[in-house]
């Protein structure tokens, strides 16, 4: 019971952030569809691809060509770094709410009542799941709306529903993974800013480890330690199916972090 | 640990590394008692209260509220408690009503009677428009009043109040003392911390003094019945260790009556300026 009272309270407080992000990201999907339709209309993909220097094409691999297609441009919103950063910022904000409540003193009002501590954690888990699902659904709706409104003539070039769902699932799993990490940190922290900053630094380090690992074979082994290693949207755009093992790793890290947050929050002094 | 007391503390100790915040504390508070927990800042009052509410886990010892162990049966213990924190943590963007609604639902919606909540707000002069405003627009005193309403609104069997009058003006302190007297009449138990001796002396039945985490003094502060007063004398206030009497006319008859009692101290004052001003201090005074 306490979980749902707190969930309602949290969603009410976060509604501007969640609705705003959903609006911006779904709008971004519409814009990307318009851009893709414009390039398709002028047959610009071929000339654009030929302008890329050969050494760069070899460096980044075949993904460049995949990106320079109607489906590639439309799909870019699901792995653009700014989109990933925005979505992760949302889940970190929601995941660090227990620390924020301790910081503000609101936890005293909540936990002085017959509210189990696990309700506070469960509330955050549900808030993250619902908010992330809502934002991803809004992005998907933006893409579908854009395709039907702005590119009805290029139906043959549209990214398949399977591809879009795979991209959404991949991005959602990545968000879940970092939500778990943020929750585990927030369960021990007394300040949201500390928990958020710590998660941000870890995410940045993990991103760089993966980035270096992809570009430098000697560092490839270390890249496996980064959750971003298991996030491969470009491969999906190139036609590879979503690897269940990769999704499982991301979900497992997220679930592990959440399980740790239940234990840590139950044991801590407030 | 069922002792029949409203609150029972046995050998309670809390250490933070080398610092011992509470040391081997033993305390019983009876049902229906108003108990004052006195100490300077950092004496261990708030740590003890936070252990009672299971915010903080004790290093050793145990505490129970109405027979429910505060740690092992924390939910049952906290179901019987209304808590006023020393530092109120309201989100600034919430309205007073929203705070009361959330806290009421967490207490169990059935536990909160709207009529009683309105009565509390009225007595503390929190209007409906005040409660509709965001907390960021509240003064320190208004936040404290809101805190008192949220603690009392479920009319719990036990109230745990941390520095309850901090930030209240003298009139609201009086209103709070009246509330306290009401809940005591209805058999509720109150455990309140303070660092103001005159306050706990006035409202509490018993007082414990804690220093550096150790209980150093525990005494009964309940008032003996006041004597029959001679003509021209009016009992203004009866406190556990003090009576206030208004005298119109000569002091002689009163002094003669007091001569047979074990009076420790006697102070004679002109009518305080505050009492003269009080009728003009209220908004509704014309």
Mean pLDDT of chain A: 92
Separation in Å, CA of A5 to nearest CA in chain B: 7
B226: pLDDT strictly greater than 80: no
CB-CB under 8 Å, B78 with A5? no
Separation in Å, CA of B151 to nearest CA in chain A: 9
Best A108, A110, A123 residue to mutate vs chain B (most B CBs within 10 Å) = A108
CA distances from A90 to A185, A233, A269, B30, B54 (A): 16, 20, 27, 49, 31
B110-135 mean pLDDT:
90
Give the alpha-carbon dihedral of B115, B281, B130, B87, to 10 degrees. Answer: -90
Q: Which tokens is B272 given?
A: 């305080």
CA atoms of A237 and B266, how far apart (whole Å): 91
Choose among B50, B76, B106: nearest Cβ to A115: B106
pLDDT at B37: 94
pLDDT at B20: 94
Q: Is B214 helix (H, G, I), strand (E, B) or coil?
A: strand
pLDDT at B229: 83
A63: pLDDT strictly greater than 70: no
Say how many C-beta atoms besides its own lie within 10 A of residue B259's C-beta: 8
| Residue among A97, A80, A81 at smallest CA distance from A199 | A97
Q: Is the ipTM of this complex over 0.90?
A: no
Choose among B76, B99, B106: nearest Cβ to A113: B106
Q: Which tokens is B245 given?
A: 């009497």
CB-CB under 8 Å, A112 with B150? no
| Poorest-pLDDT segment among A59-68, A147-156, A248-257 | A59-68
CA atoms of A63 and A61, how far apart (whole Å): 5
pLDDT band at B281 (very low <50, low <70, confident <90, very high): low
pLDDT at B220: 86
Residue A108: list chain B partners with CB under 8 A: 53, 55, 83, 85, 89
Angle between helix A192-215 and helix A97-104 axes, rounded to 10 deg: 150
- Ramachandran area for residue B262 (φ above 0: left; ψ -120 to 50: alpha; else beta): beta
CB distance B37 to B57 below 8 Å? no
Separation in Å, CA of B85 to nearest CA in chain A: 7
pLDDT band at B221 (very low <50, low <70, confident <90, very high): confident
CB-CB under 8 Å, B87 with A105? yes
Choose among B56, B75, B88: nearest Cβ to A105: B88
User: Tens digit of pLDDT for each residue in A17-61?
Assistant: 999 999 999 999 999 999 999 988 888 777 777 777 777 666 666
pLDDT at B155: 93
CA atoms of A159 and A237, how far apart (whole Å): 8
| Poorest-pLDDT segment among A90-94, A182-186, A206-210, B241-245 | B241-245
B241: pLDDT strictly greater than 70: no
pLDDT at B272: 64
More confident residue, B108 or A54: B108
Q: Which residue has the tokens 């779904």?
A: A26
Separation in Å, CA of B217 to nearest CA in chain A: 28
pLDDT at A48: 74
Task: Convert chain A into a string of H (helix), E (strand) and C (coil).
Answer: CHHHHHHHHHHHHHHHHHHHHHHHHHHHHHHHHHHHHHHHHCCCHHHHHHCCCHHHHHHHCCHHHHHCCHHHHHHHHHCCHHHHHHHHHHHHHHHCHHHHHHHHCHHHHHHCCCCCHHHHHHHHHHHHHHHHHHHHHHHHHHHHHHHHHHCHHHHHHCCCHHHHHHHHHHHHHHHHHHHHHHHHHHCCCCCHHHHHHHHHHHHHHHHHHHHHHHHCHHHHHHHCCCHHHHCCHHHHHCCCCCCHHHHHHHHHHHHHHHHHHHHHHHHCCC
CB-CB under 8 Å, A106 with B91? yes
| Percent of residues, chain B, with pLDDT higher than 70 | 88
pLDDT band at A226 (very low <50, low <70, confident <90, very high): very high
CA atoms of B149 and B125, how far apart (whole Å): 11
- Ramachandran area for residue B155 (φ above 0: left; ψ -120 to 50: alpha; else beta): left
CA atoms of B47 and B52, how far apart (whole Å): 9
Phi, psi torsion values for B72, nearest 5 degrees: -75, -30
CA atoms of B174 and B201, how far apart (whole Å): 14
CB-CB under 8 Å, B53 with A112? yes
pLDDT band at B286 (very low <50, low <70, confident <90, very high): very low
Chain B: which residues have CB within 8 Å of chain A? 50, 53-57, 75-76, 78-79, 81, 83, 85, 87-91, 93-94, 99, 102-103, 105-108, 150, 160
Choose among B56, B107, B108: nearest Cβ to A269: B56
CA atoms of B86 and B162, how far apart (whole Å): 5
pLDDT at B2: 44
pLDDT at B98: 94
Q: Which domains does chain B have, with CATH numbers?
A: 7-220 (3.40.50.300), 233-281 (no CATH)
Most confidently modeled range among A216-225, B78-87, B238-247, B253-262 = B78-87
């Amino acid at each position: 019971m306490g979980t749902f009272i707190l969930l309602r309270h949290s969603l009410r407080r976060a509604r501007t952030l969640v609705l705003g992000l959903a609006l911006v990201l779904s709008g971004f999907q519409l814009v990307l569809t318009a851009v893709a339709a414009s390039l398709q209309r002028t047959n610009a993909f071929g000339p654009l691809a030929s302008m890329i220097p050969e050494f760069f094409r070899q460096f980044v691999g075949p993904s460049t060509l995949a990106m320079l297609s109607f489906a590639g441009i439309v799909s870019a919103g699901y792995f653009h770094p700014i989109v990933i950063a925005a979505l992760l910022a949302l889940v970190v904000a929601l995941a660090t709410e227990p620390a924020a409540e301790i910081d503000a003193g609101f936890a005293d009002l909540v936990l002085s009542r017959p509210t189990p501590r696990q309700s506070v954690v469960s509330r955050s888990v549900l808030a993250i799941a619902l908010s992330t699902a809502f934002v991803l659904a809004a992005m998907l709706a933006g893409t579908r709306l854009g395709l039907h409104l702005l590119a009805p003539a290029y139906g043959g070039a549209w990214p398949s529903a399977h591809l879009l769902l795979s991209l959404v699932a991949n991005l959602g799993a990545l968000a879940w993974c970092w939500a778990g990490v943020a929750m585990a940190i927030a369960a021990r922290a007394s300040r949201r800013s500390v928990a958020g900053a710590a998660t941000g630094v870890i995410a940045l380090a993990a991103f760089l480890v993966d980035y270096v690992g992809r570009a430098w074979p000697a560092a490839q082994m270390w890249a496996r330690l980064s959750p971003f290693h298991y996030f491969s949207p470009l491969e999906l755009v190139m036609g590879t199916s979503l690897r269940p093992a990769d999704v499982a790793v991301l979900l497992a890290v997220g679930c592990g972090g959440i399980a740790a947050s239940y234990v840590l929050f139950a044991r801590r002094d407030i | 640990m069922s002792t029949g007391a409203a609150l029972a503390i046995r050998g309670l100790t809390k250490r933070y590394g080398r610092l011992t915040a509470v040391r081997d504390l033993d305390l019983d508070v009876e049902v229906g008692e108003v108990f004052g927990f006195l100490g300077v800042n950092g004496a261990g009052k708030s740590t003890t209260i936070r252990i009672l509410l299971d915010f903080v886990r004790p290093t050793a010892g145990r505490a129970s509220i109405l027979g429910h162990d505060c740690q092992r049966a924390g939910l049952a213990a906290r179901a019987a408690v209304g808590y006023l924190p020393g530092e109120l943590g309201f989100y600034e963007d919430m309205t007073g009503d929203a705070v009361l609604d959330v806290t009421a639902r967490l207490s169990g919606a059935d536990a909160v009677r709207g009529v009683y909540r309105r009565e509390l707000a009225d007595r503390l002069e929190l209007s409906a428009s005040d409660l509709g405003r965001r907390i960021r627009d509240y003064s320190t005193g208004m936040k404290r009043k809101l805190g008192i309403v949220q603690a009392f609104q479920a009319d719990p069997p036990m109230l745990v109040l941390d520095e309850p009058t901090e930030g209240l003006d003298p009139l609201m302190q009086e209103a709070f003392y009246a509330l306290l007297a009401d809940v005591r009449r209805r058999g509720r138990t109150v455990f309140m911390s303070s660092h103001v001796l005159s306050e706990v002396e006035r409202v509490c039945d018993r007082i414990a003094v804690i220093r550096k985490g150790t209980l150093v003094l525990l005494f009964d502060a309940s008032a003996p019945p006041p004597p029959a007063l001679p003509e021209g004398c009016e009992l203004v206030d009866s406190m556990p260790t003090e009576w206030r009497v208004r005298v119109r006319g000569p002091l002689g008859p009163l002094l003669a009556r007091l001569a047979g009692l074990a009076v420790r101290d006697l102070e004679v004052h002109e009518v305080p300026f505050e009492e003269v001003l009080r009728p003009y201090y209220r908004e509704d005074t014309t």
